[in-house]
Amino acid sequence: MSIVQRTSLQAIPAYKQGATPGQGEKAFKLSSNENPYPPLESVMSGIAAELGTINQYPNAAAPELIGALASRLNVEAQCIALGAGSVEVAGQLIHATANPGDEVIFAWRSFEAYPILAHVAGATPVMVPSDAAGGHDLLAMAEAITERTALIFICNPNNPTGTVVDTASVDAFMAKVPAHVLVVIDEAYVHFNTDADSAVGLDFFRRYPNVAVLHTFSKAYGLAGLRIGYAVAPPQVAANLRKTAVPFGVSALAQRAAVLSLEHEDELQLRINELIQARETLQNALHAADINVIDSQANFVWLPTGAATEDVDTQLRAAGIWARAFAGEGIRISIGSPEANQAIASAVISALQEASTHA
């Protein structure tokens, strides 16, 4: 007799982590949007000081970190809820707002965890096709709202295309969203966004009672392995997020690392500036070679390679570039170390030229 299983899980794909080169292989792992720099020395020493307490549960209230974030963001502490990375907080948001059968709207392609999280919560994902430029089609997203809509994600900058939504467009969108529907502005890559016209999540949170914002310490702060992110949300929403969170899901090490990172943001900004400059240099090189690349405001670039995606990805791996390929759509390549970034442009140009000869 087989063990009873939840039958709906058969339709849910498992989250696919970015591919990693084999041991000893001369290659660059650029598939997971990781920060190529190690943690700051001050962060590492601070974590080391906490190792003697890992036999104890962390303080789930995280008063030091919540207080630091509240001060840094100029929001009430009760509006902040933590989780094991912003992806876990995104799951909390769905569980806190959507009843079984309710709908969760987002652009597609966008963050690939959105439909998985919606299905796991028993909600129905509504995937609205992106516009021709790889960005959010906010008009179509507004038209997709029904009486079953509970939550809407706006990924800004968008993963995997790196596009942004501007302030005026989001304002026009919010005018069409019913007041009971929560709009979540997912800003996992906000630190790399230099577009002056881009919508700013916290501005919308302050102006609209049905907006929440997602942030993470995984990308710009380089704490991906410690798993810590947070939402800034209306007080009742934040309270419900704490109800749906995994108890003690954010470790004391992660909390301490986040606090120290906030204290040393000036030092971290130097690294962020270097990554932004590397992104711009790479995009300029690809544009100069007439490569079709969508201008990104994140720590990655997006190649809309369409039907040639598999062939291009194969060529990139042969050249030591392990990126994230989305079959039939495109390839996302993270900005990496200076050595990796030097290799990307020539590898992409060669791979696309090779693919075109077989088209």
Residue 8: inside a domain: no
Residue 2: inside a domain: no
- Specify whether the CB–CB gap between 101 and 241 falls below 8 A: no
> Same structural domain for residues 131 and 202?
yes
The pLDDT tens digits of the residues spanning 259-308 come to 999 999 999 999 999 999 999 999 999 999 999 999 999 999 999 999 99
The pLDDT tens digits of the residues spanning 19-61 come to 677 655 679 999 999 999 998 999 999 999 999 999 999 999 9
> Same structural domain for residues 118 and 259?
yes
> Same structural domain for residues 246 and 293?
no
> Same structural domain for residues 256 and 273?
no
Query: How confident is the model at residue 23, as a pLDDT?
Result: 59
> Same structural domain for residues 196 and 299?
no
Residue type for position 345? A
The pLDDT tens digits of the residues spanning 71-96 come to 999 999 999 999 999 999 999 999 99
- Its domain, for residue 179, covers 41-263
> Same structural domain for residues 91 and 155?
yes
* CATH number (domain holding residue 302): 3.90.1150.10
> Same structural domain for residues 309 and 238?
no
How many structural domains are present in the chain? 2
- Write down which residue in 205, 240, 263 finishes a domain: 263
The pLDDT tens digits of the residues spanning 151-180 come to 999 999 999 999 999 999 999 999 999 999
- Please list, in sequence order, all residues whose beta carbon lies within 8 angstroms of the beta carbon of residue 282, skipping any fewer than 6 positions away: 301, 335, 341, 344, 345
- Please list, in sequence order, all residues whose beta carbon lies within 8 angstroms of the beta carbon of residue 223, skipping any fewer than 6 positions away: 39, 43, 217, 254, 257, 258, 261
> Same structural domain for residues 189 and 333?
no
> Same structural domain for residues 82 and 225?
yes
Burial class (CB in 10 A: 0-12, 13-18, 19+), 208: middle
- Write down which residue in 244, 263, 282 finishes a domain: 263
Q: What is the pTM of this model?
A: 0.95
> CA-based angle 26:30:33, to the nearest 5?
150
Residue 1: inside a domain: no
Residue 7's closest CA among 122, 116, 98?
122
- Write down which residue in 263, 285, 315 finishes a domain: 263
> Same structural domain for residues 47 and 163?
yes
Burial class (CB in 10 A: 0-12, 13-18, 19+), 21: middle
